[in-house]
Copies of this chain bind each other. A is one copy, B any other.
Amino acid sequence: MPGKNLNIGMVGYGFMGRAHSNAWRKVSNFFDTGYQPVLKAVAARNRDKAQAFADQWGYESVETDWRRLVERDDIDAIDICTPNDTHAEIAIAAAEAGKMILCEKPIARNPAEAQPMVDAVEKAGVPNTVWYNYRRIPAVTLIKQVVDEGRLGRIFHYRANFLQDWTINPDVPQGGAGTWRLDVDAAGSGVTGDLLAHCIDTALWINGPIASLSAMTETFVKERKHAETGQVQAVGIDDAAAVLARYANGSLGTFESTRYARGHKALYTLEINGEHGSFMWDLHDLNRLDWFDHGAEGRLRGWTTIHVTDGEHPYLGKWWVPGLIIGYEHSFVHQVADFLTGLRDGNFAGPTFRDALETTKVCDAILESGRSGRWVDIRQ
């Protein structure tokens, strides 16, 4: 049943603005959290676009300066969906204004930018989270549960890839509203911050800290036109990155991400191998989870494909009936549901800003190792 109103102020209105808005709107139809989110205002520099977005999603008002939003007394939570280079300033101001903050990932372009954000929210004592939504894909949550129960025994391997192919064409521009992810100034990095960051967040959550790593990075297309100026400029981001890692628990990690893997759209895959069992999962089939139970009867042992749509699976009891799948957007609904329930119960599971800082430290080490060719230790 709907509960106490929670007034949301959204900054930005792009792809993530839509995904988050959808989550805020849907959560109370499916989850009982004690809160009823209210889409109070959206802030964006372009008033017409902001108003169109507000009309489409039902935001009550529009601001053209995010600072105004942060100052408004009728806003409880700031949801940051703008490019990476703007996260720190907005988040720190919001924390100082005592707002809850939900920040799109990665938390910032690098640890140096992220650390003051962590300091600010912790000093202000405001609830905070970063939208690493894949933790809340039910199949991924189920892996976490089973691993935490110790059921896999000693872990030997954790590997994850995130493969795309959308920038192979050298005519794709960089910079601007639609392609800021290719602009190193706005994004901070390429696949490392955009895609590997997801893999790292899940990996740290499920398998614990990474102690050290060695990475290879590459920029395949060296120059691109700027989307707005049309000027040909050097490309500053990493188009591809691959990583060897050692976890604190003694297991080995391998990670790879690229936007040049022809045929793959958003293929985030992960696998964990333990003494007694293994899990495999991928984002293209996000409702399926492959599980190998070494304890099963020998002649009938194999990889079990779990169709993660039963009532006893994480979050699924709130949706439809067994066999009927959910999609990408539901992971955001789950994150909102957990955030609100955590508000009510005082125990939000994360990822917090501090968790996201750790992920960004790993990303930074990847970029550093890619430059130096050396193994890099991760300092906790």
* Residues in B whose Cβ lies below 8 Å from that of A375: 373
Q: Is A301 an interface residue (CB 8 A)?
A: yes
Complex contact A285–B285 (CB within 8 A): yes
Q: Is A116 an interface residue (CB 8 A)?
A: no
Complex contact B327–A326 (CB within 8 A): yes
A330 vs chain B, min Cβ distance (A): 7
Q: Which residue of B lies closest to A154 (CB)?
A: B220
| Residue from A1, A25, A168, A244 whose CB has the most chain B CB atoms within 10 Å | A244
Contact partner, A306, options B288, B293, B300, B307, Cβ 8 Å: B300
Complex contact B304–A300 (CB within 8 A): yes
Q: Which residue of B lies closest to A277 (CB)?
A: B262
Contact partner, A261, options B156, B267, B285, B309, Cβ 8 Å: B156
Complex contact B262–A276 (CB within 8 A): yes
Query: By the criterion of a CB under 8 Å from any partner CB, how many residues of chain A are at the interface?
Result: 96
Known: A260-B156, A310-B298. A21 touches B29 (CB 8 A): yes
Q: Is A265 an interface residue (CB 8 A)?
A: yes
Q: Mark A271-289, 1 if CB is under 8 A from B, else 0.
A: 1011111100001111111
Complex contact B262–A292 (CB within 8 A): yes
Known: A159-B256, A298-B310. A263 touches B240 (CB 8 A): no
How far is it, in angstroms, between the C-alpha of A15 and the C-alpha of B2 when the chains are bound?
A: 19
Q: Is A205 an interface residue (CB 8 A)?
A: no
How far is it, in angstroms, between the C-alpha of A296 and the C-alpha of B292 when the chains are bound?
A: 13
Interface residues in A127-184 by Cβ distance below 8 A to B read: 142, 146, 152, 156-157, 159, 164-166, 168
Complex contact B56–A28 (CB within 8 A): yes
Complex contact A291–B298 (CB within 8 A): no
Interface residues in A29-87 by Cβ distance below 8 A to B read: 29, 52, 55-58
How far is it, in angstroms, between the C-alpha of A300 and the C-alpha of B19 when the chains are bound?
A: 27
* Residues in B whose Cβ lies below 8 Å from that of A341: none
Q: Is A124 an interface residue (CB 8 A)?
A: no
Q: Is A8 an interface residue (CB 8 A)?
A: no
8 residue pairs, one from A and one from B, having the closest CB atoms: A265-B323, A266-B323, A263-B292, A324-B328, A327-B327, A302-B306, A156-B260, A265-B322
